Structure 1
Amino acid sequence: MSFDPASLVFSQPESATDIRASTVLPAHRENVEFRTEDGKLLVGELALPESGEISATLITLHPLPTHGGFMDSHVYRKASYRLPALAGVAVLRFNTRGTHSPRGTSQGQFDEGIGERYDVEAAVRFAVERGLPNRWLVGWSFGTELALMYGAVEPVASQVEGAVLLSPPLHRATDVHLKEWAASGKPLTVLVPEHDDYLQPAEAAERFSLVPQARVLGIDGAKHLWVGEKYAARVLDEIVDDVTEAGAGPHGLPRQWTGPVATA
């Protein structure tokens, strides 16, 4: 049985609530499906602000599904829980081909980042067709490979503003893809954990020097999976700073919420 976001139960606390890992803030959430050019039906969730204009749209690309990555990987889950309410940001999460989560299983099989090109294109096409504005790719680990390989070429390039990369391993993505990003001129922000298992800040700065417009930011103390509220919150602050005009504010996004909340 697929998880239904409408099953979340919201209550009104008497005082402000500290925002923790399982805190869910109000949003309009719906289960979505879209089909790829090669016929695979992908499942996901779209979280929209309850009211007001959408400041930006995140199209999230999750970590490696053969190592536990899926649309519910914790940074993306927290983005969908918080950003519609805190920053007016729409968050599209989905399972790439063959990936399973409580939402369901997308059709197809893991294809080492090759067939996943159609998944990226389908997600962006869905966002365009829904009229979601200011679209950005956000890739994490394996998802950064997809963003780098397919985000700066058509049909995706003309439909997104840029990308934010979390923990890029640069295994599948090559210098050819980095040069395509350079040629596109599109913004690229690269968040690199100090203690990453695959690519650490100094090497990342060297590799991404091929992209003059890339901003490479080393995050002290962080690891590849961004475990810990401190690091997840920092990632969300950096994303909002990059993709919205207002940004996260001088002290980052609020760490407390006054209003209805649910617990996941």
Structure 2
Amino acid sequence: MEIRASTVLPAVRQDIELHTADGLTLVGELALPPEGKPVATLVCLHPLPTAEGMMDSHVLRKAANRLPALAGVAVLRFNTRGTESARGRSEGAFEEGEGERFDVAAALEYTEFHDLPNPWLLGWSFGTELALKWGHDPLVQGAILLSPPLRRATDEDLDAWAAFGRPLVALVPEHDDFLRPQEARERFSRVPQAEVVAVDNAKHLWVGEPYVRIVLNEIVERVNPAAHPLPTDV
């Protein structure tokens, strides 16, 4: 069977709640490999909620639908404060990426409490800003950024990640609406360990199965190289 956009592969899926230090309850889902323990964990940080971003934004949903089975990776998705999806609405209200620091911390605390191994941050658009600003936690193994706009995240945030020292991979669409590959290389040059991967013909929203496959393969190459490249049939 060819893996298509709508393919949902086996996983152990659990509705979860995260509890922030400032008293909010956030809704989410954890998808675990159908057999055995995960080798790594993706903590997904979704696009801008005021532009319909949420835990079900398609690349994150497809990561949860495929990677537990294909790569032995746990995928934790959640709605940041004030964000709603089919899973429900998280408490609170959108705070422009500032109060969301507590949301990132709550997700990482969940991975630690539940013994989820080797957490990597997977941010998309607004989620990349959260990763860069608030992801400097000793638990974090690295971060993968999809379509980083580098608007809320400043040069000071990049310098902080440089000092943090963990891997940083930015997947930048050729035709991105906010930050294209050449400027991305210039901006991320402040982070010696950063890798900018330009994706030809892609756009900010990664629409189209070929681009989803590129993204998921780039993710797996970093978090579980033994599972790379991903199969296209099951």
Provide the aligned length of Structure 1 versus Structure 2.
234
Q: Which residue of 2 aligns with 1:86?
A: 70
User: Are residue 23 (structure 1) and residue 4 (structure 2) matched?
Assistant: no
Alpha-carbon distance in structure 2 between the residues aligned to 1:109 and 1:242: 33
Larger radius of gyration between Structure 1 and Structure 2: 1
1:218 aligns with one of 176, 179, 198: 198
User: Are residue 43 (structure 1) and residue 23 (structure 2) matched?
Assistant: no
Q: Which residue of 2 aligns with 1:202?
A: 182
2:68 partner SS: helix
Residue by residue over 1:170-219, the C-alpha shift from the partner in whole angstroms, topping out at 9 and shown as x without a partner, is 00000101001111110000000000000000000000000000000100
1:228 aligns with one of 204, 208, 211: 208
**Alignment map for 1:53-72 (pairs within 5 Å):** 53-72=37-56
What displacement does 1:244 show? 1.3
User: Are residue 253 (structure 1) and residue 223 (structure 2) matched?
Assistant: no
1:168 maps to a residue whose letter is P
Q: Which residue of 2 aligns with 1:184?
A: 164
| Superposition misfits of 4+ residues, deviation over 3 angstroms | none
Question: Taking structure 1 as the reference length, what is the TM-score of the superposition?
Answer: 0.88
Residue by residue over 1:152-185, the C-alpha shift from the partner in whole angstroms, topping out at 9 and shown as x without a partner, is 2xxxx20110100000000000010100111111
Q: Which residue of 1 aligns with 2:95?
A: 111
Alpha-carbon distance in structure 2 between the residues aligned to 1:70 and 1:58: 16
* Greater RCO (CA < 8 Å, at least 6 residues apart): 1
Residue by residue over 1:205-237, the C-alpha shift from the partner in whole angstroms, topping out at 9 and shown as x without a partner, is 000000000000100010000000000110000
Alpha-carbon distance in structure 1 between the residues aligned to 2:16 and 2:37: 21
Could you list the runs of 5+ residues in structure 2 that have no partner in the other structure?
Answer: none
1:230 partner SS: helix
Alpha-carbon distance in structure 1 between the residues aligned to 2:4 and 2:12: 20
Percent identity reads: 64
**For the aligned residues, what is the CA RMSD?**
0.7
CA contact (8 A) 2:104 2:130 kept: yes
Question: Taking structure 2 as the reference length, what is the TM-score of the superposition?
Answer: 0.99
Could you list the runs of 5+ residues in structure 1 that have no partner in the other structure?
Answer: 1-16, 258-264
